[in-house]
Amino acid sequence: MAILGIDIGGSGVKGAPVDTARGELLEERFRVPTPQPSDVGSVVEAVAEVAAKFTGYDRVGITFPGVVVDGVTRTAANVDKSWLDAPAARLFSERLSVPVSVLNDADAAGVAEVAFGAGHDQRGLTMMLTFGTGIGSALFLDGTLIPNTEFGHLELDGKDAELRASDRAREQEDLSWEKWAGRVQDYLRHVEMLLSPRLFIVGGGVSKKADKWLPLIEVRTPIVPATLLNNAGIIGAAVTAGQAHGHPGGFPVDADQPS
């Protein structure tokens, strides 16, 4: 049976059944706006609305834009604070009546990119960074996820990095591509100084416009745009749910072996 992947984002909750062996959507995805406020009850209902569009799945993988440990959401930088310490996997699983795995959104996108996209067969340390409402990070060593890194919250120029270099900061401050790329470059240089990754993969909505800003960035580390774009979170969530074999919660993912 298929696995449903659902991606909870800052503006939309999107989902589709996934072929987890190929990393492809089996049907067109369905999207509803993220409820505002994005409290636990409202988001659980939005997820249920997306899930109700599909049939024929026996487990669900869900992304969340914060730290997720053993199915419990631990941080809520860009969502309602009711998510702090919420038993998310249990709540979703009770509402959807199937086993549910929940993982961080950037981790999910990274799992998909490492299994099927820009990070495929990459050895050593690979770092996926998503630039959207916040900055998400996912770190892989030889294809294995080190979950729940939060490098979007490094301090840059005395501020939380995501407040200066996320795509939301670009939009809110109406920054030119040059100006924003300068901030992203400062951020990436800081990250490479700390971690020396072999590869940066940049994702999030803004990676669709990579031609506008990626050529402006000079860092030592090779840097490539994500290739699965909008669907990476959905695919990575489903792959992870497949690997969890019905046990809700956060699992270290061996993304080289999608089931």
Please give the residue ranges that form the binding site for ligand BGC (CB under 6 A).
Answer: 65-67, 75, 77-78, 104-106, 130, 132-134, 136, 150, 152, 162
CB 3 within 8 A of CB 60: yes
- Burial-class residue 211 by CB neighbours within 10 Å (0-12, 13-18, 19+): exposed
Beta bridge partners of 18: 3, 25
The helix/strand/coil state of 139 is strand
For residue 188, give both structure tokens.
């990436």
Tokens 């987890």 appear where? 20
Closest distance to ligand BGC from the beta carbon of 136 (Å): 3
For residue 26, give both structure tokens.
């089996």
d(CA 63, CA 196): 27
Nearest to ligand BGC of 2, 167 (CB atom): 167
For residue 92, give both structure tokens.
């979703």
Q: 232 CB contacts (<8 Å, ≥6 apart)?
A: 108, 109, 110, 112, 113, 117, 203, 226
Closest distance to ligand BGC from the beta carbon of 149 (Å): 9
Nearest to ligand BGC of 2, 8 (CB atom): 8
Instruction: State the residue number with the nearest CB to ligand BGC.
Output: 134
Beta bridge partners of 199: 126
For residue 89, give both structure tokens.
């996997």
Nearest to ligand BGC of 65, 117 (CB atom): 65
Nearest to ligand BGC of 98, 230 (CB atom): 230
Closest distance to ligand BGC from the beta carbon of 100 (Å): 18
Closest distance to ligand BGC from the beta carbon of 3 (Å): 21
Name which of 195, 180, 87, 207 is nearest 146 in CA terms.
195
